[in-house]
Amino acid sequence: MIKGFIFDLDGVLTDTAEYHYLAWQELAKKMGISIDRVFNEQLKGISRMDSLERILAYGNKSDAYTKEEKLQLADEKNEEYKKLITKISPRDLLPGIKEFMAELKQADMKLALASASKNGPDILNQLGIADLFDTIVDPAALANGKPDPEIFIKGAKQLNLTPEECIGVEDAKAGIDSINAADMFSVGVGTPESMKFADMFVVDTAQLNYASILANIKDR
Ligand code: G6P
Ligand code: MG
């Protein structure tokens, strides 16, 4: 029986991908690396340091910086990102999210956040939905990021539920892989191509609906 929903943040509840992109682009430029939106797709869902490593590898500069310098560069990106997200407000909730969360609360579902973002708690506050969540997985305490199942397994544990009692919602391929590996039902938001490994998907958050997700689980 389904008792909880575990959400990704970026690209599911709000669209911060563009802000992450702009902040990385600025940093990459300083390092003499040019990235575009197509490249940015592979940064979705992965941690700050993993993102930096991918950008450096893309620019053939993986060995150009020491570990300390890399931490400094990641900090620099985060400072820029934090400037860009100060204006996030409840108006930035993606279409249908408010209604979907109200349905879940009505059905007594427990809610957890499983985002790789260390800015997750601040963003939930700015979106005005922090109170709806029973728990937030701390990404700083993870041994392995998505696609490893750890973050979704921890989310279920923090809700005092088993993975089978939870549904994970994600927009990134790494995130769907993480949910599936946790033995949890995966709901994707995205194109059929990008969401082909999800147990079910919608193309738009406006189509997220509690009853239709439950119907899909029964069909399995
Ligand atoms: C999310 C985003 C990634 C981002 C990561 C870490 O998963 O999709 O693009 O790099 O969080 O975010 P942070 O706010 O901690 O830098
Ligand atoms: Mg995401």
pTM score, whole prediction: 0.93
Q: Ligand 1 pocket check: which of 71, 117, 189 to mutate, most ligand atoms within 8 Å of Cβ?
A: 117
Nearest-atom index, ligand 1, CA of 120: 14
105 shares a domain with 28: no
Q: What is the pLDDT of residues 120-132, one digit of tens each?
A: 999 999 999 999 9
Q: Which residues line ligand 1 (CB under 6 A)?
A: 10, 20, 43-48, 51, 78, 115-119
199-217 average pLDDT score: 96
For residues 134 and 210, state if they share a domain. Answer: yes
Q: Within this chain, do residues 80 and 105 fall inside the same structural domain, yes or no? A: no
Is residue 32 part of an annotated ligand binding site? no
**Are 22 and 84 within 8 A, CB to CB?**
yes
Q: What confidence score (pLDDT) does residue 148 get? A: 97
Is ipTM beyond 0.85? yes
| Nearest-CA residue for atom 16 of ligand 1 | 48
Å from CA of 215 to ligand 1 middle: 32
Dump pLDDT digits (tens) for 84-127.
999 899 999 999 999 999 999 999 999 999 999 999 999 999 99
Confidence of residue 64 (pLDDT cuts 50, 70, 90): very high
**Quick check: 57 pLDDT over 80?**
yes
- Cα–Cα distance measured from residue 177 to residue 180, given in angstroms and rounded to the nearest whole number: 5
Q: Which of 68, 87, 106 is the last residue of a domain?
A: 87
Check whether 115 is labelled as a binding-site residue: yes
Looking at residue 65, the DSSP 8-state letter turns out to be S
Residue 143, domain extent: 4-14+91-219
Q: Give the total number of structural domains in the chain.
A: 2
Q: What was the pLDDT predicted at 142?
A: 96
pLDDT classification of 220: cutoffs 50, 70, 90: low
- pLDDT at position 114 is 98
Quick one: pLDDT band at residue 218, thresholds 50, 70, 90? confident
Statement to judge: residues 80 and 30 lie in one domain: yes
Residue 198's CATH number = 3.40.50.1000
Residues 64 and 119 in one domain: no
Residue 103: the pLDDT is: 97
116 annotated ligand-binding residue:
yes
**pLDDT digits 0-9 by tens, 130-172:** 999 999 999 999 999 999 999 999 999 999 999 999 999 999 9
Counting from 1 in the atom list of ligand 1, the atom nearest the Cα of 119 is: 14
Average model confidence (pLDDT) for the chain?
96
Q: What are the distances in angstroms from CA 2 to CA 40, 113, 156, 191?
A: 34, 17, 11, 25
Is 138 annotated to bind a ligand? Reply is: no
Sheet containing strand 110-113, edge to edge, reads: 135-136, 110-113, 4-7, 166-170, 185-189, 200-202
For residues 46 and 121, membership in a common domain is answered with no
pLDDT of amino acid 45: 87
pLDDT tens sequence across 172-181:
999 999 999 9
Residue 7 pLDDT: 98
Same domain, 72 and 119: no
Last residue of a domain, one of 57, 87, 117: 87
pLDDT score for 127: 97
Check if the beta carbon of residue 178 is closer than 8 Å to that of residue 152.
Answer: yes
Q: How many CB atoms lie within 10 A of CB 218?
A: 6
Q: What b/e sequence results for 12-33 when a residue is b if at least 16 CB atoms lie within 10 Å of its CB, and e otherwise?
A: bbbebbebbbebbbebbeeeeb
Active site members: 8, 10
Q: How many CB atoms lie within 10 A of CB 172?
A: 27
What CATH number is attached to the domain comprising 31? 1.10.150.240
Give me ligand 1 centre to Cα 15, in Å: 12
Is residue 219 pLDDT above 80, yes or no? no
What is the whole-number distance in angstroms between the Cα of residue 14 and the centre of ligand 2? 9
Q: Are residues 125 and 81 in the same domain?
A: no
Last residue of a domain, one of 55, 87, 119: 87
Residue nearest atom 14 of ligand 1, based on CA coordinates: 117
195 with 157, same domain: the answer is: yes
